Structure 1
Amino acid sequence: MKNYLKFLAAAVIVFASCDNDKSETIEVSKTTIGKHIERLASDDFMGRKPFTKGEVITVNYLKDEFEKLGLLPGNGDSFYQDVPMVEITGTPSENMVIAGKKGTFNLKALKDFVATTNKVEEHVSLKNSELVFAGYGIVAPEYGWNDYEGIDWKGKTAVVLINDPGFKSGDSTLFKGNEMTYYGRWTYKYEEAARQGAAGLIIIHDTEPASYGWNVIESGWSGARLIIESDAPQLNVESWISGESAAKMFDASTMKGKDYKKMAREKGFKPVPLALNVSVDIKNKIKKDVSKNVVAMIPGTDRKDEYIIYSAHWDHFGIGKPIDGDSIYNGAVDNASGTAGLLAIAEAFKKGKAPKRSIVFMAVTGEEQGLLGSAYYAAYPIFNPKKTVANINIDALDSPGKMKDLTITGFGQSEMDEYAEEAALQQNRYIIPDPVAEKGYFFRSDHFNFAKIGIPALYASGSYEGFDKSIEEIKAYNAFYEHNKYHQPSDEYDAATTELSGVQLDLQLFFNVGSKLANEDYFPKWYDGSEFKAARE
């Protein structure tokens, strides 16, 4: 917090000394933004889920709109990049059965647990699989950490905590302190358990370190799921259980009365057999199909083989579990806002002089299922990553008005921070690092996959302090969205009540940053110490 306040003070000083010489710029249209959010978030698009009629409507709409603006196909003569995926509609057994010397008890599907699989098989199960508490489920040699050490994991199921040991530890040297590392993400935990040879993994849900409630688990881990087939090891069962269910489990185990959270945070922790077994079945319907990334471009005039990529995911959750009588997950903020932003920024570029470098607009699929569309692009890039100057990712823009701040997720990673700061100062704004870095947002949107192949990425938005709203008011606004709309059918668009001035300001900044990059010959660099620098070099 001290470092954060020092940085904030420095930003304000820089702002105060700025002569406010604002260069003339083309305006990103608020009308265009609103028009496209309203269409993309309408019931007609059926929640924009891949492999549904909603996908067909969405990708056709985006292709048509890019064509109307005069953009060219971004993948040869096509506006699409095919992304082969597998849809697994899993139906878990009604009960997850936990058995031990003290007896047997059942956890109820959705209420107490969710269970899925990435195995492309019609039936998977855990049958009396031994449960072992594996702390945070992390193997991190650079931190001298191995939660799986000393056990043959074949046939066993690991039980782990969400996030990483640094969270709320009060120790800034433990991992990255309160800032979540990739080791804290649920995706990593399933990957690592599979590498260790386990049969299953159960993540214990806890709202604060997860940064979302059990309702998000219910909606996000039920119904059809999408994956990209891989030769990597896979678990039979990937599961979450509620905190209340975990307490019941530990009370019946060898860990009764022990502070398992404190134990897991201690360096040198070793896995603990719980003297319990778990059984659960999943029956799967499997469908193999092809989803699509939508790719459009404006060719550069001088250096057309150098690229700036704007990205946003077009997908959401489609039609799912009804909440308050509504089953369409419209995803207005997440991420009709970002997808509309691509179209509005593309329109702004077409109003001006053609850029010297090529500008690519990429609406990717499958973000809600694990960043699948961008992961596929990273594995099979259309444009040479070494010639890709930068990525500007747009995801879930929302604010009650114009924001003073530009909060940068992943601040301190690359020189993209400096481009963002220059553009922010031109708008009389300041930049800050993500004040809730413990939520791991850097790993939760598509810029992460561009970063992994060495492309410096900017992921930012105004989300901390408004010009007309206090920090506390913005905090309450964000909390309301997170608790009442995030990944729920209530994330809808109302043209009469939705305030777009803050969204427009952010998109204008992204346009300004991209325009500067597109008309110079410099390649932004990763800072020393960034884990992504090696991939670039």
Structure 2
Amino acid sequence: MRLLFTSLLVISLFTTKAQQVDKHITEENVGRLISTLAADDMMGRPAMRPEYMEKATAFIESEFEKIGLKPLAGQKTYRQAFQKQLIVPGIPQITINGQTLSNDKVLLATENINVNTDSGFGMLRIDYDSTIANKRQTLISKAFMLSRDTSAAFVIVHPAYLEVFPELKGYFGKRLISGRKGTKVFVVTDQPINTYSVQATQSIESITMTNVVGMIEGKKKKDEYVVFSGHYDHIGIRPAVDGDSIANGADDDASGTTAVIALANYYKKIKDNNRTLIFVAFTAEEIGGYGSRYFSEQINPDQVVAMFNIEMIGKPSKWGRDHAFITGYERSDFGEILQRNLEGTPFKFMPDPYPKQNLFYRSDNATLARLGVPAHTISTDEIDIDKFYHTVNDEVETLDVKNITVTIRAIALSARSMVSGTDAPKRIDKASVR
């Protein structure tokens, strides 16, 4: 009889939680948030254009204020601002094997440079993988991984990527943030580099970038943090397609930012968090994760119990609407805890099905994971075939708002034991994270 009573009590409590989730996380509000964040007047939210980012920053700030979040400890406002120096590139002069290369085939991920064959540059390669359909995504992913290499080197890019090379230049070449480790010269060629000369002079300017951060203080374990995050920057203005030049970033990552705001509203309404909850909209994810890097320097990572980073939940997963995947699933028991909390529901969290895409390292979770935090990204996107990814067609009209709502509700339910303080995922092995 006691076992039956306990089971009925657990079912009743779960039902109550599910009802609260449905009541406070509504499709109507989700639609309002994402439609605002991905509107044309947000100008594609490019982190390196603060004058364009301001409207999105102010909107998220106003939502946090309406919800009643507190600024992060030590901050007077929700804005977590930091300075970055940008490189405004000049026109490079690059000679390879005695031939001067046209500017459309070269990219300097460096500051001023004047080197020749005697400089001892290394040679790295981005080879063509015909098994991956999305060439743009593959090139950008591989380039970002190589940018972490600390050596001075040429990166020889296979000519098959020439048509999407301008996208890479948009990330690294137009206004590169200084301080990257290692000098890289990207060259599109199918020839080995035997002799070379590289010269370029570039100017430096400083800008302010801004994360937006709010918190709900914990009742019993206020020095233990659970972080909910998404990045609100995107890639800004691109070459026009059918008259449209604004890359709205509806799925990437207005959907994740929408989730962060909706979850903040939910937890503020139900008032049952024993741990402190931190809600953060990161800037500069698209250009190297500088917002999450700065954030990680403002808190003690040992106090962060878990990080729910939410990225691209605007379309049903490969398994359907009631599924999402978790990057780095095998690195901790984060996913197992989430699934345990969803017992009795149709929703399932799956391991990342796209290992070739290196997704664990390509979002803001990676910064805190390198510090040992069980920091994972939750997504539903079929990234290997997503034709709207990083294009001007990533619009609200291409999304499934119900999928976003269902996924946010699942995150809210699955996080409950971490929020209440009864569960803590295993820490990630720092040495295992590149």
Bin of the TM-score, shorter chain as denominator length: 0.7 to 0.9
Q: Distance in 2 between matches of 1:499 and 1:437?
A: 25
1:371 aligns with 2:270: no
Q: Distance in 2 between matches of 1:345 and 1:191?
A: 33
The match for 1:42 is 39
Match of residue 388, structure 2, among 472, 485, 489: 485
Paired position in structure 1 for 2:8: none
Q: 1:430 to 1:521 in 2, by over 3 A?
A: closer
Quick one: percent identity of the two aligned structures?
26
Q: Select the residue among 433, 437, 440 that pairs with 2:358.
A: 440
Question: Cα distance 1:222–1:214, how it changes in 2: closer, same or farther (>3 A)?
Answer: same
Whether the 8 Å CA contact 1:158–1:201 is kept in 2: the answer is yes
What letter matches 2:41 in structure 1? D
1:435 CA displacement: 2.0
Cα distance in 1 for residues equivalent to 2:108 and 2:324: 38
Structure with greater helix share of residues:
2
RMSD, aligned α-carbons = 3.2
Q: Hey, what does 1:84 align to over in structure 2?
A: 83
Aligned partner of 1:462 in structure 2 is 380
- Taking the aligned partners of 2:289 and 2:225, their CA distance within structure 1 comes to 21
Out of 213, 219, 225, which is 2:176 matched to? 225
1:279-302 residue CA offsets vs partner (Å, 9 max, x unmatched): 333342321122111110111112
Following the alignment from structure 2 to structure 1, what is the Cα–Cα distance between the partners of residues 358 and 294? 21
Partner of 2:135 in structure 1?
A: none
What is the CA-CA distance between 1:30 and the residue it aligns to?
Answer: 1.9
Shift in alpha-carbon separation, 1:521–1:424, aligned structure 2, 3 A: closer
Which residue among 114, 130, 150 is the counterpart of 2:107?
A: 114
Q: Deviations over 1:259-281 (max 9, x none)?
A: xxxxxxxxxxxxxxx5x222333
Q: Tell me which amino acid in the other structure corresponds to 2:417.
A: K
Q: Which amino acid aligns with 1:453?
A: L
**How far is 1:205 from its partner?**
4.7
The one-letter code of the counterpart of 1:192 is: D
Match status 1:202 vs 2:200 = no
* Matched letter for residue 301 of structure 2: P
Matching residue of 2:277: 359
**Mapped partners of 2:419, 2:350: distance in 1:** 25
How do residues 514-533 of structure 1 correspond to structure 2 at under 5 angstroms?
514-526=415-427, 530-531=429-430
CA-CA distance at 1:218 after TM superposition: 4.1
Could you tell me which residue of structure 2 aligns to residue 256 of structure 1?
none
Matched residue SS, 1:367:
coil
Question: How far apart, CA to CA, are the structure 2 residues paired with 1:72 and 1:162?
Answer: 46
User: Which range moved further: 400-409 or 46-55?
Assistant: 400-409
State the 4+ residue runs in structure 1 displaced beyond 6 angstroms. none
Count of aligned pairs: 405
Structure 2 partner of 1:343: 261
CA separation in 1, counterparts of 2:159 and 2:379? Answer: 26
Q: Which residue of 2 aligns with 1:68?
A: 66
Find the aligned partners of 1:106 and 1:280 in 2 and give their Cα distance: 10
Cα distance in structure 2, aligned partners of 1:31 and 1:369: 32
TM-score (norm 1): 0.68
Q: Residues 485 and 129 of structure 1: is their aligned pair in 2 closer, same or farther, counting only changes over 3 Å?
A: farther
Q: State the distance in 2 between where 1:185 and 1:337 align.
A: 25
Which residue pairs with 1:144 in the alignment?
none
Alignment deviations for residues 496-526 of structure 1 (CA, whole Å, 9 cap, x no partner)? x631222222211221233321112442213
Q: 1:206 to 1:499 in 2, by over 3 A?
A: farther
Distance 1:345 1:519, change over 3 A: same
TM-score, length basis structure 2: 0.83
Q: Is the 8 A contact 1:92 1:280 kept in 2?
A: no
Matches within 5 A, 1:48-447: 48-50=45-47, 51-76=49-74, 77-93=76-92, 96-99=94-97, 104-110=98-104, 112-117=105-110, 119=111, 124-129=112-117, 155-162=119-126, 186-194=143-151, 198=152, 200-205=153-158, 214=165, 216-227=167-178, 229=179, 234-235=182-183, 238-242=184-188, 245=189, 247=190, 249-250=191-192, 274=193, 276-378=194-296, 380-382=297-299, 384-400=300-316, 402-447=320-365
CA distance change for structure 1 residues 532 and 329 in 2, over 3 Å: closer, same or farther?
Answer: same
Q: Deviations over 1:425-453 (max 9, x none)?
A: 44313443222212111100000011111
Give 2:30's match in structure 1, choosing from 22, 33, 47.
Answer: 33
- The structure-2 alpha-carbon separation of the partners of 1:503 and 1:206, relative to structure 1 and needing over 3 Å to count, comes to farther
CA distance in 1, matches of 2:241, 2:200: 24
Assess if the C-alpha contact under 8 Å between 2:322 and 2:407 holds in 1. Answer: no
Q: Are the counterparts in 1 of residues 172 and 287 from structure 2 also a CA contact under 8 Å?
A: no
C-alpha spacing 1:408/1:323, structure 2 compared with 1 (3 Å): same
